[in-house]
Structure 1
Amino acid sequence: MESFATKAILDFFIAFGIVLGGAMLGGIGAVIALQPPTLTMLNVAKSLKIWALAAAVGGTIDPLRVIESNFYLGNISPAVKQILYIICAFLGAHLATELVAWICRERG
């Protein structure tokens, strides 16, 4: 059984890796397709953000079902934990998007 901190850290880095890896590979694909890689990387990072969040927490409906069922039964702790997992995954995806934006900024 994994602890709360372990799952939160894994959710953060899974979301971070999905966005960063997808943007980098999208940039490689853009070079091969003779498209501007920085613009492509920025667009891919922004569009992958929500999917990275969903993948990190284990799907789109199940986490919401956990929150709803626990609130309904009066168990606040599991619902709060699930919300914190979602926040950790969002922070990972957002940090990766900001990193890609920082890498792709115009030099001049």
Structure 2
Amino acid sequence: MSRRIFTGDGMSMAFWRIKGGSGPTPYGGHPNNEQFGLIVAGQLDFRLGSDERVTLGPGDVYWAPTNLPHGDSQFIGDPARNNEVWILDVFQPVREEYRNG
């Protein structure tokens, strides 16, 4: 997994490149941040706010309001992208733990 972090005055953006087959990730919410995620390549199979799983693909967007549990993610790689999943996440306000990259 690799990521690039960009931080402004009031928001953070993370671009993730995740190897297909990775997971599961932790399941929980962000107490101080809302989050939008855009699937750029590959697929994300995860839980968003309930026990129901959803699978998102390129162009799909998810929104996780503050404290909404999400995660338990499985990553399905795109063969045309080196079997990776690419996700762009935007957080508001700034995720302080991301401030230094």
TM interval, short-chain normalised: under 0.3
Q: Please identify which structure carries the higher strand content.
A: 2
TM-score, length-scaled by structure 1 = 0.21
Q: Please identify which structure carries the higher helix content.
A: 1
Structure index of larger Rg: 1
TM-score, length-scaled by structure 2 = 0.22
